[in-house]
Amino acid sequence: MPKTQNHIHTQRISLDQDFEVLYEKACEAGIETAFSRAKQTPVPCPFGSAGVCCRHCLEGPCRIGLNGKGPQEGICGANGDTIVARNLLTMMIEGAAGHAEHGRETALALLEASEGNSDYQIKGVEKLYQVAAGLGIETSGKAVEDIGKQVALKALEDFQKQTGVMNWLALHAQQQSIHKWNELGITPVNIHLEISKAVTRTTMGCDADPINLLLGCLTMGLVDGFGGLHLSSDLQDILFGVPKLVKSNFRLGVIKKEMVNIAVHGHVPLLSEKIVEWSRKLSGEAKAVGAAGINVVGICCSGNEVLMRHGIPAASSFSSQELVIVTGMLEAMIVDVQCIMPGIQKVAECYHTEVITTLPYVKIAGSTHVDFHTDKADKAAQDIVRKAIANFPKRDHQKINSFTGTVEAYAGFSNEQIIEALSALNREDPLKPLLDAIASGAIRGVAAIVGCTNVREFQDWGNVTVAKELLKNNVLVVATGCSAHSLAKHNLMNMQGLEYCGESLRGVLKAVGQAAGLESLPPTLHMGSCVDNSRPADLLTAVANRLGVEVKDLPAVGSCPETHSPKALVIGTYFLANGVDVHVGVNPQVSGSQFVTDVLCNGVKDDGLNLEKLFGGKLIYEKDPVKAAAILLRRIEEKRLALGLSS
């Protein structure tokens, strides 16, 4: 990190000035937030940070001495390599389970909608036909609901089948990759089976071979990628429609003083879709309590989902979620699942904000709970919106901080939308303009900037810096998750940000954008939520198939500069298993084992597991975003050279 930024980092929490203001306000009022709690424990536990603390039985916890000093084995004899690999697998399981549950809930919702037992209908009919065809489901002469039911049952089969290959893996993976995974014995059969097996192998007295444990991590990556990401995105597109280009706004100015403000936060868009619908329908009731209407804003990935499909503006990414309440203008924060800080409740108690949990397995002590079921989704959404309206008159006007600044951003870049934009240049072969630009070097490569913001990092700085460095060097950047919030807030998803692009990249963005009726495409393309990392993966697969190569051969990289979540690690592992280099800017907690670090990052020569040799990509851990971008650019150029593309 450059000296100046290091200095800034010690003084400040965010590149976003509005959150700086709210953080100061919270500190002065004695309101604790994640940022202040992080400052109270400035140095994380060194053993946990190195991944050498083992809590898998009641004889411990044991920990391996760092730098060769102190005990080098736990009481059971597990060494540092085993403990670090096992802890990494535990994090992968956690991440994959969250995404798998997301997928399972969505599959059930599609089944219920198809059977007419819910408040949802199928909106993405074209996508339904496309997915059904890919799964080998006969569609001719069948009603949409029948096809929807067959697709939902195929999805649920991926949680049950005992032999063969997951349906969603066969649907999206390249044949060469499946062959490679089969040879290594890492191809998942069913999602729950693999998660259960992985939990079993991490328990005391089971798997004690670090190589085998790391192979287990790769299986979790595939479970996550196909059973979590792809399955969820496909079924959400079928239920709610495929995202299309939208224009919206970011930053705290999206919270409106005169409106009833409702934040949707979490990941699974089943409820947030209904909140958006009922907020529009009940605006008259808001007017009756003196508000101008109802304003829904997004936080984290529920925010990304409703942004992508409805243009709902976004208020905050993960790390600053509590500070949104400190505006004093939030009537309700509705949460579903994942990335929800328990701390929001204590902050809400200092204001009139009502935190409303909605799932039986995600409750927060002190919060209101409204049980959500797909067959009573309309009722739940109405109840919740009415609770928010009832809170509007309870505002303490002394505590309000209103912000006016917003930043315009384009979103909605599903692959379907990207192909539509490209087909304005070549209707018969829409991918050709993109391939030509990559081949000529006008676009050097493609980078997905994904993942989170992290309270221990200077918010947005890593995400924005990596993006700017890559753009400057003519790399096409797509983004998902909370990283997309960072880029949008700092003008990288509107036309102002074109100034950060290298000349040739800017030329391509303008040519495609203008053919599609815009001034230009924005400098970075918002592809959606965490599970929508399936979208850049599909784009890469389409490009690789069109070129007759493997995804691993493409000049493509992933970067996760500010992650906080095990989910990001397992998403990264999915990309690694496909041969894509993955950068993380936050300690992946494996440094306690040189062996594990070497396998993931450096290549191990004689031990039979070398990620780069086996798959074609590796993990890059680099905290400094400028250096990280330089490494990614080097890797892109290496892959270009190997493909015989222009230097």
201: contact with ligand MSK by CB under 6 A: no
Nearest residue (CB) to ligand MSK, 297 versus 609: 297
339: contact with ligand MSK by CB under 6 A: yes
The alpha carbons of the chain give a radius of gyration, in whole angstroms, of 24
Structure tokens at 230: 């792809």
In Å, what is the CA distance from 91 to each residue of 78, 94, 588? 18, 5, 10
What pairs with residue 261 in β-bridges? 295
567: contact with ligand MSK by CB under 6 A: yes
DSSP structure string for 197-210: HHHHHHSTTS---H
Specify the length of the chain in residues. Answer: 647
DSSP structure string for 300-335: HHHHHHHHHHH---EEE-STTHHHHHTTS--SEEEE
Report the C-alpha gap between 343 and 367 in whole angstroms. 11
Element (H, E) at 115: none
For the CB of residue 308, give the shortest distance to ligand MSK in the complex, in Å. Answer: 13
Nearest residue (CB) to ligand MSK, 516 versus 586: 586
Structure tokens at 199: 């939990």
Are 449 and 483 within 8 A, CB to CB? yes
561: contact with ligand MSK by CB under 6 A: no
Which among 50-58, 72-80, 184-192, 565-573 is the span making contact with ligand MSK, rule CB under 6 A? 565-573
For ligand MSK, how many residues bind (rule: CB under 6 A)?
A: 15
566: contact with ligand MSK by CB under 6 A: no
Report the C-alpha gap between 349 and 342 in whole angstroms. 12
557: contact with ligand MSK by CB under 6 A: no
Nearest residue (CB) to ligand MSK, 171 versus 355: 355
Which one of residues 565, 589, 593, 597 is an interface residue with ligand MSK (CB under 6 A)? 565
What pairs with residue 407 in β-bridges? 250
Nearest to 531 by CA among 62, 100, 69: 100
Residue bearing tokens 């920990």: 63
Nearest residue (CB) to ligand MSK, 451 versus 592: 451
For the CB of residue 317, give the shortest distance to ligand MSK in the complex, in Å. Answer: 6
Which among 114-122, 176-184, 388-396, 560-568 is the span making contact with ligand MSK, rule CB under 6 A? 560-568
Nearest residue (CB) to ligand MSK, 190 versus 414: 414
For the CB of residue 607, give the shortest distance to ligand MSK in the complex, in Å. Answer: 32
Burial class (CB in 10 A: 0-12, 13-18, 19+), 387: middle
Report the C-alpha gap between 303 and 267 in whole angstroms. 8
Which among 119-127, 141-149, 152-160, 564-572 is the span making contact with ligand MSK, rule CB under 6 A? 564-572
Which among 269-277, 324-332, 366-374, 562-570 is the span making contact with ligand MSK, rule CB under 6 A? 562-570
For residue 384, what is the DSSP state?
A: H
Which one of residues 482, 512, 516, 629 is an interface residue with ligand MSK (CB under 6 A)? 482
Nearest residue (CB) to ligand MSK, 232 versus 415: 232
Instruction: Please list every residue from 514 through 533 that binds ligand MSK, using CB under 6 A.
Output: 529-530
For the CB of residue 301, give the shortest distance to ligand MSK in the complex, in Å. Answer: 3
Are 263 and 294 within 8 A, CB to CB? no
Nearest residue (CB) to ligand MSK, 34 versus 438: 34
Nearest to 335 by CA among 361, 312, 309, 307: 361
The helix/strand/coil state of 473 is: coil
DSSP structure string for 28-56: HTT---HHHHHHHS-S--HHHHHT-EE-S
Element (H, E) at 475: strand 475-480
Are 604 and 611 within 8 A, CB to CB? no
Which one of residues 52, 155, 300, 476 is an interface residue with ligand MSK (CB under 6 A)? 300
Report the C-alpha gap between 446 and 580 in whole angstroms. 11
Instruction: Please list every residue from 488 through 507 that binds ligand MSK, using CB under 6 A.
Output: none
Site string for ligand MSK, 255-294 (x = CB under 6 A): ------------x---------------------------
Nearest residue (CB) to ligand MSK, 82 versus 302: 302
For the CB of residue 339, give the shortest distance to ligand MSK in the complex, in Å. Answer: 3
486: contact with ligand MSK by CB under 6 A: no
For the CB of residue 13, give the shortest distance to ligand MSK in the complex, in Å. Answer: 16
Nearest residue (CB) to ligand MSK, 210 versus 269: 269
For the CB of residue 529, give the shortest distance to ligand MSK in the complex, in Å. Answer: 6
Angle, CA of 173, 531 and 602, to the nearest 5°:
65
318: contact with ligand MSK by CB under 6 A: yes
Nearest residue (CB) to ligand MSK, 341 versus 389: 341
Q: How far is CA 23 from the centre of its chain?
A: 25
For the CB of residue 93, give the shortest distance to ligand MSK in the complex, in Å. Answer: 15
Report the C-alpha gap between 525 and 323 in whole angstroms. 27
Report the C-alpha gap between 366 and 354 in whole angstroms. 10
Site string for ligand MSK, 439-468 (x = CB under 6 A): ------------xx----------------
Which residues, including other chains, have CB under 8 Å from residue 641's CB and lie 6 or more apart? Answer: 647
For the CB of residue 531, give the shortest distance to ligand MSK in the complex, in Å. Answer: 8
301: contact with ligand MSK by CB under 6 A: yes
Could you list the residues that contact ligand MSK (CB under 6 A)?
A: 267, 300-301, 317-318, 339, 451-452, 481-482, 529-530, 565, 567-568
